[in-house]
Chains A and B, each alone.
Chain A
């Protein structure tokens, strides 16, 4: 177990190019021991690169990787005590389940009795005990993925388990089971787990801390709730949550930014110039209500669709279009509605960055 610290880490796949293109922009990051993290972002945002740097499969072009303060940047993968599970289940096809689980220990030359004991323990934990003598290739995809995971867990000294989209190829039902199992293992073994994913639900349900990445940069890092309630950028607001957060265009008026079509406005924070930059007003569709206290949002329903049991209304008011997610509203397309939003749910974004909520 170890605390993992990335210090001024950056990576470029073509470090000799005159214009350096970074797969991973310089960043500092600390991962606490025994916690669960999720790296969330679209394909090509640098999350797998980061993972491979930590496991030592890639050597970063800049910066250092520290495990408990020890610099491991130049160290070989096998000496880092990192376990990694890939998108595709990787098993040694010519071996049985037990041999698969024992493999990392055999490579490290542990005594046979100890290996047998560890394999037994891990198989028990993963629910693979009954399959131990079976050839690994005969198992189902999710069981194979458990074997991949087991090969990481079987090593007692493992610093962290890195999961690179491990649930992508698994059936939905099995996905749920496997995610539950991962959480159990994290609690039982107390080992740090880092999950790379582009599925926000997976990230939000698995990890204590979610790190949102885009274009090789960390956009925001925090608890799932925090990312949902207070997205630091428009990107996070759009990427997390379904439907995406509303960002409405505003115009300046007397130190405020307003959405004229809705008669909605917020004063900009002190020190900010309301007339320069692109300002948007952001709020979550989930924070809109059919009735109750708050500022009114008037408009005509353009479209209605369902997400699960909830209704999503697309409402237009003049040029402005926003979405609202409601439990059960008896409304029809084309009707005029008056919805409500609590003022504290509104936030201003300047050039894509949150500048705080100056409601009055």
Chain B
């Protein structure tokens, strides 16, 4: 009679198969085909796509660029988010107002915000260059020079996602017990010692969690690049997901794009796992 219990699993399992297992298996199959716009369909070409991918410098450059961009933005987000959280953690004037204010960027639509930022960075019509010139400085090629375009994308990402970091870290700070701070005052510790000896060690676990969540999110950077620079100038701001998008949905090389995504997926799983373990080992050693 307990046989029936498996029936109740079917809706969940079917959903899982439909949205995860099938697409994944299908992508694996597609990656061994030459499916493209001229010859659609599932033929078998063996590992050709993977061999081509190995030689594709543009793919590996995009991956490296992504690593730099994700690592850089998340690090800055962490420092800024922590700083902001510390500012409105204790009793301060207009605490509630600031707490909400700091969250606003996160609540806006990423694509819309990227459009607005594109306007802000516009080289002849944007307010940034206008302000620079009024201040007697030279206008900067925010979008058209490789280095600055990369920086612009990072600025938008940081602006958009620091609030998320702020939110997680503030929640962490608010959950800290009071006694260690009283003890630190009695022991005669100043603000810096208190931060590095009490706050930071106690925030380590939540910090690692917040950083990992943001790294996973940041590895998907796409809409900012798409709207702000379209990967340009040249390929200066092209990230993995954007490159896969170009290959798959613009050039319609579906077979090749499938192999690109699979390798991307494997690299992400391995590297994020290693980063997670590493961070935990370094910072969260005392949580056991």
Which A residues fall within an 8 A CB radius of B? 52, 55, 57, 77-78, 82-84, 86-88, 90, 92-95, 103-104, 107-108, 135, 137, 148, 151-152
Contacts and interface: CB of A to CB of B under 8 A. Distances in A.
Given A92-B197, A95-B197, A107-B193, A135 B286 contact: yes
9 contacts: A57-B182, A77-B186, A78-B187, A82-B186, A84-B183, A90-B182, A104-B188, A107-B193, A148-B183
Contacts of B198: 92
B188 A84 contact: no
Given A103-B187, A104-B188, A151-B187, A86 B179 contact: yes
Contacts of B58: none
A90 B202 contact: no
A108 B177 CA distance: 25
B182 A107 contact: no
Interface centre among B180, B187, B189, B193 (most CB of A within 10 A): B187
Given A92-B198, A93-B201, A137-B286, A57 B183 contact: no
- Tell me the interface secondary structure of chain B in the complex: helix
Contacts of A103: 187, 189, 197
Contacts of A84: 182-183, 186
Nearest to B288: A137
B202 A93 contact: yes
B185 interface: yes
Given A107-B190, A107-B193, A135-B286, A88 B185 contact: no
B183 A86 contact: yes
Given A92-B198, A93-B202, A107-B193, A78 B183 contact: no
A93 B187 CA distance: 15
Given A57-B182, A135-B286, A78 B188 contact: yes
Given A57-B182, A84-B182, A137-B286, A107 B187 contact: yes
B203 to A, nearest CB: 11
Contacts of A152: 186
The 10 nearest A-B residue pairs measured at CB: A78-B188, A107-B188, A90-B183, A94-B201, A104-B187, A93-B286, A86-B179, A77-B185, A137-B286, A90-B179
A87 B288 CA distance: 21
Contacts of B288: 137
Interface of B: 177, 179-180, 182-183, 185-190, 193, 197-198, 201-202, 286, 288
Contacts of B188: 78, 104, 107-108
A202 B91 CA distance: 36
A211 B202 CA distance: 37
A52 B286 CA distance: 29
A57 B193 contact: no
A137 B288 CA distance: 9
A92 B193 CA distance: 11
A75 to B, nearest CB: 12
A90 B106 CA distance: 37
B176 to A, nearest CB: 12
A87 B185 CA distance: 16
Interface centre among A92, A95, A137 (most CB of B within 10 A): A92
Contacts of B186: 55, 57, 77-78, 82-84, 104, 152
A55 B179 CA distance: 13
A151 B180 CA distance: 13
B177 A107 contact: no
A86 B182 CA distance: 9
A161 B183 CA distance: 12
A331 to B, nearest CB: 50
Contacts of A88: 177, 179
A103 B182 CA distance: 14
Nearest to A85: B183
A296 to B, nearest CB: 55
Nearest to A135: B286
A283 to B, nearest CB: 42
A356 B202 CA distance: 56
Contacts of B182: 52, 57, 84, 86, 90
Contacts of A78: 185-189
A55 B184 CA distance: 12
Nearest to B286: A93
Nearest to B200: A94
Contacts of A55: 186
A92 B197 CA distance: 7
A104 B177 CA distance: 20
Given A57-B186, A78-B185, A107-B188, 12 more contacts: A57-B182, A78-B186, A78-B189, A86-B182, A90-B182, A92-B201, A93-B286, A94-B197, A104-B186, A104-B187, A151-B183, A152-B186
A151 B189 CA distance: 12
